[in-house]
Amino acid sequence: MGLLEGKRLLVTGVLTDSSIAYNVAKLAQEEGAQVVLTGFGRLSLVERIAKRLPEPPPVVELDVQNGEHLDTLADRVGEHLDGLDGVVHSIGFAPQTCLGGNFLNTAWEDVATAVHVSTFSFKSLAVACLPLMKEGGAIVGLDFDATKAWPVYDWMGVAKAGLESCSRYLARDLGKHGIRVNLVAAGPLRTMAAKSIPGFQEFEESWPDRAPLGWDLGDTAPAARACVALLSDWFPATTGEIVHVDGGVHAMGG
């Protein structure tokens, strides 16, 4: 019996097969879940990638900045699943001006976009899915440790600090619905989102050396496994938590 046998999941954030969300969807299906994906922008690309999964899942359109997409999400997902037991938020975006060492000069409009897509959307997605989560369940988001100021990560780091706080408030307000809300703080991984960060190689060079367990920048499986575990019934009393899947870097000094 799989860890997610009988679970109905909505997984956002699949763009390529290197997306963290792609591996979450794959592992979730292997563990017995029924999956629906959301796609942003290039839907035909997401549909093509979805076909590589063990069970090609339906793809529904979602731009988290589009109010109509959010308002109709439950109905559109409801055409494929009769409810949801889990939701994965694997969405992040910041305009180039927000990244790469321009911290002191970034305009508010660009910061607002980063926070809208990467932070506020965690709340929007949770609220949009609530009508389908009548039996409770789990919401999991993807984080990058926001307790420190990193090189080049800049306003995305601020957006992630907001995501960490947003996750705790969601845990507070959704607990009464039997919904757990947790984050997986992954180490750096070579995805499209990471490649768009100027200077990302600074992380690539130091992380594997600093991690007591070592770190493979090309392997999204450890982060995906943590997501699947948090979506399962094996964390029944855990909410508002951040699980670090970073080879141990967050715990090291120096």
Ligand X SMILES: NC(=O)c1ccc[n+]([C@@H]2O[C@H](COP(=O)([O-])OP(=O)(O)OC[C@H]3O[C@@H](n4cnc5c(N)ncnc54)[C@H](O)[C@@H]3O)[C@@H](O)[C@H]2O)c1
153 catalytically annotated: yes
Question: Which of 29/90 has CB closer to ligand X?
Answer: 90
Q: Which of 193, 211, 224, 249 is close enough to bind ligand X by CB under 6 A?
A: 193
Task: Name the catalytic one among 7, 22, 26, 153.
Answer: 153
Among candidates 117, 80, 90, 118, which has minimal Cα distance to 15?
Answer: 90
Cβ neighbours of residue 166 closer than 8 Å, sequence gap 6 or more: 119, 120, 122, 123
DSSP 152: T
Q: Does 19 bind ligand X (CB under 6 A)?
A: yes
CA separation for the pair 40, 245 (Å, rounded): 26
Q: Does 65 bind ligand X (CB under 6 A)?
A: yes
- Give me the 81-100 binding string for ligand X, x by CB under 6 A, dash otherwise: ---------xxxx-------
Structure tokens at 72: 């109709």
Among candidates 248, 166, 172, 242, which has minimal Cα distance to 215?
Answer: 248
Task: Name the catalytic one among 7, 22, 26, 160.
Answer: 160
CA separation for the pair 202, 60 (Å, rounded): 36
3-state secondary structure of 50: helix
Question: Which of 59/189 has CB closer to ligand X?
Answer: 189
Q: Which of 64, 115, 152, 226 is close enough to bind ligand X by CB under 6 A?
A: 64
Q: Which residues are catalytic?
A: 153, 160
Interface positions with ligand X (CB under 6 A) = 13-16, 19-21, 40, 62-65, 90-93, 117, 142-144, 186, 188-189, 191-194
